[in-house]
Chains A and B, each alone.
Chain A
Amino acid sequence: MPEFWINMGPQHPMTHGLWNMKVKVDGETITDARPEIGYLHRGVEKISEVREFQKVIVLTDRLCYVSSITWSHAYCLAVEKMMGVEVPERGQYLRVISLELQRIASHLMWLAAYGPDLGLLTVLLWSLRERELFLDLIQLLSGARMNQNYPRIGGVRNDMPENFEAMCKRSIEHFLEKLDHDYEKMLHESKIFHMRTQGVGKISAADAVNWGVTGPNLRACGVNVDVRRLDPYEVYEELDFEVQTWKGPDAGDSYSRFICRFNEMRESCKIVLEALAKMPKEGAYRTKPPRRGEGEGYARTEDSRGEALFYVCGDGDDRPYRVKIRSPIFCTMAATPIMLRGNKLADSVAILGSIDVCVGEIDK
């Protein structure tokens, strides 16, 4: 049979969002692949130039619907650096708590999508069930279930409600118990799961660095890179957590990516609990930022999917002159043909599921 191209998308159960992965197959083996993106381009960078600084947060919230707070936070951080605004300590702790809760929710959404990619629909339902816990916590904090609009320039929108700490502890305790029992049995101990993920979709650490892969995908290659450690922002340097790096053999395959993300959920739980304990019990949670800003500021943060970078340039007006977004998955997408080549057609799903694609942030 001659080689032919198969469109995996844009309307396809594999694509989590609107994009297209063209794969060239020889029988069932992938010989070449070409990602096609741009179906969801909304021009966030350009629209930002005509909106006031504060109002851009509405747009950055919608960069990725499963990880809104992390993106809005990256933008706020960049604007704060440009304006020279200092966030009160309590505000910083609240930000860290919301960021980590959002990271868990985002990783659970990834797990929910990854299960059906392998034909395991039960994980979808279970992950969404657990994700609801964290969405509820975020809702308590910010008032919204999704697109929270929570980080503000100079702090966060509101203080946390009463007995939020107790609810966090209860939810996290329940969640960790589920992770240790249900998920371990369903995924880690499943022979077929190992067969489908181990040694599949490999990318070497050198390739990953060269192509700009970041975040859990890079850490899965054995590279100890975490912006929260390397270039700490907010109060991350005061918190004690372990960067989840893959240390075993077969670095850079689907399984190592799965393990890194999975363990990151546990670490995030720890960070939330620690931040709640260390947090100043009272004090301001935001300062009033200036209306106008001049100069330039950039912030890079550890998004749920990798290194998110915001560059904001102001010319003394109340709106940014230029906003540049560096999306982690946009860069990772360029490296997917390397991961896909030589694998089977069915593996294309397992590989692309494991890198956690979010089309909103790719297409911006």
Chain B
Amino acid sequence: MSAPLVPSLFGACYILTGWIIWIIDQILYAIGFVIPPINDPLHALGGWLASPAVLTVITWLVMVLVMTIWAVLLNLLTMMWVERKTYSRLQDRYGIMISVWSLPLWPFSRRKDRPTHKGWGYLQNVADGMKLLQKENLVPASADSMMFNVAPAWIAGTTLMVFAALPWSSGLYVANLDLGILFILAAFSLAPLGILIAGWSANNKYTLVGGLRSAAMLMAYEIPLILVVIALVFTTGSLDPQVLVAQQERALTINGVVTPLPAWNIFGPQILGFVIFMVAIVAEMERIPFDLPEADAELVEGWTTELSGMRFGLVFGFKWLRMIAGAGLISILYLGGWSGPVFYTFYIGNVPIPIIPEEVWFMLRIYLLGIFFVLLSWAVPRVRIDQILNIGWKRLIPFALLAIVIAAAWQMLFNVG
């Protein structure tokens, strides 16, 4: 069975923090040695820093920092890069079709005899970010400047909040909550409030329409999202991501016959819920069939029209973070999370290193789902506001209720007692 690369993020960060505190202590003692009158207070400070309570608090802060760097600096940039490469290939863009090295998904180029450039293009998004950092943060004269400043921070903050509870493996997580899935969905649905605030406070007609669209859409896709999770709870009995994944980490058994399929939730009565979840999560991610608040065809840039500089960079870039979180949620709920064979474990000293750890299996699912969503959103037009409300209220919610009924009936018929 599977094994994580990081058995415990807290443990790893505790050791790391211990080293950092030890270095700080040595510096403090050295200063005390040089300046004898403050030797005692410095020793007291060093001892206080190294005390278990303080060390734990600092460890938590370090954990949050590590998870933010992991999610934003590594996975966000990778996801943006994957998106660029995927849709460029779909659109038959010139650069990607003639370059050998810039093809992460398909190693063969039509013209490998004459590659024009040999970059991977990975740092392009970093360069875009640096450009946005240098730009001036403009606040429109007629805007409600406090709300206008709060909104991007609100959206970025709530999106990062998802990663507080989203585990990447059975060890790599910040906090393991009993109601983790509920927390993630709750944190997810806070962002539309920020969009509404941003749309209203900028005092611009385009942003206003975009913000109100976001508020109108919210119910249409949040309710089915929660409802299918309720359907899932009928069969799993838990909202703890660790429990959910552990349940799926075995072979699927039908009438006592063990099948070669894994016991993922998608195989079984939850398939309807899976489809509904996939549709609703696209709206949650603000991707193209449902990206109405930011409909760049009719609303210039929707609710982000008046944002500039890194404010825009944050809300724009964090869309991919929401995509990662959404894909992670789908794989935890329906696709077996991080379960997968390790194949082989080798040891460095006493530390076991799995050759394909859980993190890799989880990221594989995230990026494959990411590619699916990228291809989907670049191959269909955007729907209209009344159409998404129709889809949400008249299709998704009834079918989500049906999914609950099916799950309940399944539970009664096959899993009694």
Interface of A toward B, CB cutoff 8 Å: 4, 6, 8, 12-14, 25, 28, 115-122, 125-126, 129, 186, 190, 192-193, 195-196, 344-349
Contacts and interface: CB of A to CB of B under 8 A. Distances in A.
B349 interface: no
B185 to A, nearest CB: 26
Given A125-B91, A344-B386, A120 B381 contact: yes
Interface string B185-210: 00000000000000000000110010
Contact of B382 (A28, A119, A125, A345): A119
B92 A126 contact: yes
Interface in B49-101: 87, 90-93
Interface string B368-387: 00000000001111111111
Contact of B298 (A115, A192, A193, A349): A349
A96 B411 CA distance: 71
Contacts of A346: 292, 295, 297-298, 382, 384-385
A322 B296 CA distance: 43
Nearest to B384: A346
Contacts of A349: 297-298
Given A121-B378, A122-B90, A6 B205 contact: yes
Most B-side CB within 10 Å, residue of A14, A25, A346, A348: A346
Contacts of B384: 195-196, 344, 346-347
B258 interface: no
22 contacts: A4-B205, A6-B205, A6-B209, A8-B298, A28-B213, A28-B385, A118-B382, A119-B288, A119-B295, A119-B297, A119-B381, A125-B91, A192-B380, A192-B381, A193-B381, A195-B383, A196-B387, A344-B386, A346-B385, A347-B384, A348-B298, A349-B298
Contacts of B206: 6
B297 A116 contact: yes
B379 A122 contact: yes
A192 B298 CA distance: 17
B357 interface: no
Given A28-B209, A192-B289, A348-B298, A121 B91 contact: yes
A121 B91 CA distance: 8
Contacts of B298: 8, 14, 345-346, 348-349
B300 interface: yes
A347 B92 CA distance: 28
Contacts of B292: 346
B385 A186 contact: no
Contacts of B90: 122
Given A13-B296, A348-B298, A118 B209 contact: no
B379 A196 contact: no
B375 to A, nearest CB: 10
A192 B205 contact: no
A137 to B, nearest CB: 20
B383 A192 contact: yes
Nearest to B297: A349
A195 B387 contact: yes
Interface string B273-307: 00000000000000011011001111010000000
A118 B87 CA distance: 17
Interface in B386-413: 386-387
Nearest to A27: B212
B381 A118 contact: yes
Nearest to B301: A13
A186 B90 CA distance: 12
A101 to B, nearest CB: 22
Contacts of A347: 384
A347 B387 CA distance: 12
Contacts of A4: 205
Given A116-B297, A119-B382, A344-B384, A125 B93 contact: yes
Nearest to A7: B205
B300 A122 contact: no
A14 B87 CA distance: 22
A355 B71 CA distance: 45
Given A126-B91, A195-B387, A118 B378 contact: no
A120 B380 contact: yes
B27 to A, nearest CB: 55
B220 to A, nearest CB: 14
Closest 5 A-B residue pairs measured CB to CB?
A: A119-B382, A118-B381, A125-B91, A120-B381, A349-B298
B92 A190 contact: no
Given A28-B385, A115-B381, 15 more contacts: A6-B206, A28-B213, A116-B297, A120-B380, A120-B381, A121-B378, A122-B90, A125-B92, A190-B381, A192-B383, A195-B384, A196-B384, A344-B385, A346-B298, A348-B298
B401 to A, nearest CB: 23
Contacts of B291: 119
Nearest to B90: A122
Contacts of A118: 297, 381-382
Contacts of B93: 125
Contacts of A120: 379-382
B99 to A, nearest CB: 17
Interface in B218-273: none
A8 B209 CA distance: 13
B282 to A, nearest CB: 12
A346 B385 CA distance: 8
A125 B96 CA distance: 13
A346 B289 CA distance: 13
Contacts of B386: 28, 344
Nearest to B391: A195
A193 B378 CA distance: 13
A117 B381 CA distance: 9
Interface in B318-343: none
Contacts of B288: 119
Contacts of A14: 297-298
A12 B92 contact: no
A117 B205 contact: no
Contacts of A348: 298
A196 B297 CA distance: 13
A349 B298 CA distance: 6
Most A-side CB within 10 Å, residue of B91, B93, B300, B384: B384
Contacts of A6: 205-206, 209
Most B-side CB within 10 Å, residue of A25, A119, A192: A119
A297 to B, nearest CB: 43
A190 B380 contact: yes
Contacts of A119: 288, 291, 295-297, 381-382
B304 to A, nearest CB: 13
